[in-house]
């Protein structure tokens, strides 16, 4: 059982929905980012999604793209992202960390070496958006064998024919992308999301977490009420980009987690 599995077991026992927060590792710099990540559990975050900055983030909107650029310009690397997770683990051995990003940096490091290092650093799961199920032998299956969850994204265009393929080697949870398009674009609607969540949950026992387009505590509550929880990323990253202090960003995160936990 991974930390992700354990977290969902605890939340289910408590009758609570999950609140997942995404931040870009190294944005705007290593020290600030580490301080923010260390503060997330205290702000009510159940699972941390740590973005791995990459030069060509094709699934991300402007907010996340700019965060990645700031992180790269400040010297963030895959190794520093693993170091950040390891530093976090010195004081928190229970909050799950999911590394989210693209395959190129992992491929460049070498899959076997990366998985050993990620496990040692305390990473619990991976979301690699540019590796489709047809490439499961590349990273997904080795990751699961190494004890890491491999979390797959389902979208509004994942039809009933495609869905079983998406689900077959997924573990930890399923990430439902509530809107078509890139991160940070449209607003998610619970009315639109609810039937899709029901359709996917009829095909899997895994928790289903909804992300993209959630920007307010009210939206977090609304979306979490029709799923097993929600993810907020761009709205949190945008607060940091505005120059808010870590304390101010964490206060905003607390408002979002409170919303999700009211669901």
Instruction: Name the 3-class secondary structure at 156.
Output: coil
Q: Which helix (H) or strand (E) holds 49?
A: strand 47-51
Catalytic residue among 60, 124, 136, 228: 60
The sign of the torsion formed by the CA atoms of 154, 160, 164, 165 equals: negative
The widest CA-to-CA distance across the chain, in whole angstroms, is 46
60 catalytic, yes or no?
yes
What is the side-by-side order of every strand in the sheet holding 47-51?
Answer: 149-150, 125-128, 97-101, 47-51, 18-24, 229-232, 208-211, 174-177, 153-154
Burial of 156 (0-12, 13-18, 19+ CB in 10 A): middle
Give dist(CA 195, CA 28) in Å, integer.
38
Catalytic residue among 5, 27, 49, 136: 49
160 catalytic, yes or no?
no
Catalytic residues: 49, 60
């Amino acid at each position: 059982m991974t930390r992700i599995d354990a977290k969902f077991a605890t939340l289910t026992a408590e009758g609570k929905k999950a609140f997942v927060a995404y931040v870009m590792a190294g944005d705007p710099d290593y020290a600030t980012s580490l301080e923010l990540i260390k503060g997330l559990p205290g702000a009510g975050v159940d699972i941390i999604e740590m973005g791995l900055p990459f030069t060509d983030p094709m699934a991300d909107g402007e907010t996340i793209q700019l965060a990645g650029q700031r992180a790269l310009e400040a010297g963030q690397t895959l190794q520093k992202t693993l170091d950040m997770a390891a530093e976090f683990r010195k004081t928190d051995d229970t909050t799950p960390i999911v590394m989210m990003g693209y395959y190129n940096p992992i491929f460049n490091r070498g899959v076997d070496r990366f998985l050993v290092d990620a496990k040692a650093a305390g990473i619990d799961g991976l979301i690699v958006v540019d590796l489709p199920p047809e490439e499961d032998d590349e990273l997904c299956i080795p990751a699961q064998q190494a004890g890491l969850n491999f979390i797959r994204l389902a979208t509004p265009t994942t039809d009933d024919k495609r869905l079983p393929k998406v689900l077959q080697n997924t573990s930890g949870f399923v990430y439902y992308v509530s809107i078509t398009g890139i991160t940070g674009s449209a607003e998610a609607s619970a009315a639109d999301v609810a039937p899709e969540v029901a359709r996917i949950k009829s095909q899997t026992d895994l928790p289903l977490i909804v992300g993209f387009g959630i920007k307010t505590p009210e939206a977090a509550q609304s979306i979490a009420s029709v799923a097993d929880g929600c993810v907020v990323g761009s709205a949190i990253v945008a607060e940091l980009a505005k120059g808010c202090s870590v304390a101010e960003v964490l206060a905003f995160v607390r408002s979002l987690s409170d919303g999700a936990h009211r669901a």
